[in-house]
Amino acid sequence: MRVLLLQPRPKGGLGFQSTICVEPLGLEIVAGALTSAHHQVKLLDLLEGELPVNAVKEFNPQAIGISCSFAVDTYRVLNLAQALRQINPKFFIFVGGHHASLTPEAFFHPAIDALVIGEGETTTPELISALEGGQDLSQVRGLVLNYPDGQVFTGIRPLLTNLDQVPFPRRDLTAPYRPHYFLGFRRPVITVETSRGCPYRCNFCSVWRFNRGRFRTMSPERVVEELAQLPPGDVLFTDDNFLADIPRVLRIIALIKQKRLPRRRFIIQARSDTIVAHADLIAKLKEVGLDQVFIGFEKTENQDLENVGKRNTVENNERALKVLQSLNIGVYASFIVDPQFNETDFKKLAEYVKRLRISQPYFSVLTPLPGTELFEKVKEHITTFNYELYDLLHAVLPTKLPLPRFYQELVNLYRSAYLKPSNVLFTVWWALKQLLLGKISLSHWRRLWYGAKLTVNPEAYFKPLN
């Protein structure tokens, strides 16, 4: 059966919408599973934000799957499904991904036939085979079927118990797009998944709920086998907590050395308490390429960390920062801005970042994403259910400050961190050098510049979004 997989994209915008564009790893994995089931697969990454109608007509798919991992993409997906339905009313259109799985009711729409709930690489091949054979889709577990009078859930599909069974991603399908994938100034960048879930229970995070409270890993051998097949570029491990299993990480390091894999730069996500407890492990990871770590600092006070269920301390955050800085490993430090912040709270956070000399902070507004414990706790207080505003930079809960003032203070955080004259001059010089060397493209530079200008402009937070 001919199956088309689509990755919708924003044309740019605030924050991550302009500063990050990585390969659609989930779709690549689903494509691998469909290929193993002997289906013909095409993947279109809509980097220009528009549907390539001619490419759709030329492939003439029998089924089309659309990814929706983030709440902010909801309306983009719905519009895309409607456009596809106009091309051919007979297309079977299904939607999957993180957000779609946790909020299937948002996709109860006549242009969408079904939703794949949970891990797509197991359910999707069975769905496509049932379609091909004219079988009853209600017998395929892990679906939500859209009917004119409502939605029907076909039952929970068990999670994979052995992640080594996850198909290798069909990265060849995204090869034409690879020069356009980036993480900030990093380009090219490849994403790799080696585990799913997280042992912790932060109330603002939906990852552990999507994975039903379970944490699962690939074997070190499977991880290194995939690393050996990657195209050139930096590697971003998408695991929410790469260091959750220390013996596994040690084995991965040993295998990378044993196999003599080409040296490349790695970026991971990790908790500060693990870094502090295993500083020697961080040094060993540095030896095989660890270049940057994303850490959720979240708050500057222990009580505030407790309030979001972080189960960590400010002291651990600061110690982990010192460990990484001593090894010359970069740190992306994420902080949560509470809608109830006043001017003093904003100033305190800015001074904290300055005192710790955090060069790459990220400030996100506390957002009750659908599917999280936080959403259930505060949903009666949410001021808007417009998913375009669920980008972690807009307030969807009441703010203590008048909204214009709140956004001005948020912008001031970014300005204080990134618009110091020395930082601006160095960044511009470095970017121009990379541009002349051909390591970044002009379009890449323009997109980053556009996103940065929006993020430090308080008026941009009130303008219509993509």
- The pLDDT, as a whole number, for residue 225 is 98
* Owner of token pair 């530079």: 445
pLDDT score of 15: 82
100-109: average pLDDT: 97
Crossing angle (nearest 10°) for helices 279-287 and 246-259: 20
Contacts of 409 (CB under 8 A, 6+ apart): 341, 343, 346, 401
pLDDT at 464: 63
Residue with tokens 């044993």: 258
Residues 6+ apart with CB under 8 A from 128: 1, 3, 34, 37, 39, 63
Q: What is the phi/psi pair of residue 295, to 5°?
A: -125, 130
Find the mean pLDDT for residues 71-91.
96
Query: Any idea how long the chain is?
Result: 466
Q: Is the CB of residue 454 less than 8 Å from the CB of residue 466? A: no
pLDDT of residue 452: 87
Q: Cα(124)–Cα(60) distance, rounded to whole angstroms?
A: 19
Between 222 and 462, name the one with better pLDDT.
222
pLDDT confidence tier of residue 159, bands split at 50, 70 and 90: very high
Above 70 in pLDDT, residue 465?
no
CA 263 to chain centroid: 25
Residue 448 has what pLDDT? 85
Averaged pLDDT of the chain: 94
Token pair 């109830």: residue: 340
The domain defined by 177-462 folds into pyruvate-formate lyase- activating enzyme (3.80.30)
- Is the pLDDT confidence value at 392 over 60? yes
Window from 146-160, 338-352, 421-435 with minimum mean pLDDT: 421-435
Mean pLDDT of 117-142: 97
Helix, strand and coil in the chain, % to nearest 5: 45, 15, 35
Domain boundaries, the chain: 2-153, 177-462
2-153: CATH number:
3.40.50.280
pLDDT tens-digit profile of 274-308?
Answer: 999 999 999 999 999 999 999 999 999 999 999 99
pLDDT above 90: residue 13? no
Structure tokens at 37: 């089931």
**Residue 59: both structure tokens together:** 């492939």
Return left, alpha or beta for 66; rule: phi > 0 is left, psi -120 to 50 is alpha, else beta.
Answer: beta
The pTM of the full predicted model, rounded to 2 decimals, is 0.95
| pLDDT digits 0-9 by tens, 209-259 | 999 999 999 999 999 999 999 999 999 999 999 999 999 999 999 999 999
Would you say residue 459 has pLDDT above 80? yes
Q: Percent of the chain beyond pLDDT 70?
A: 99
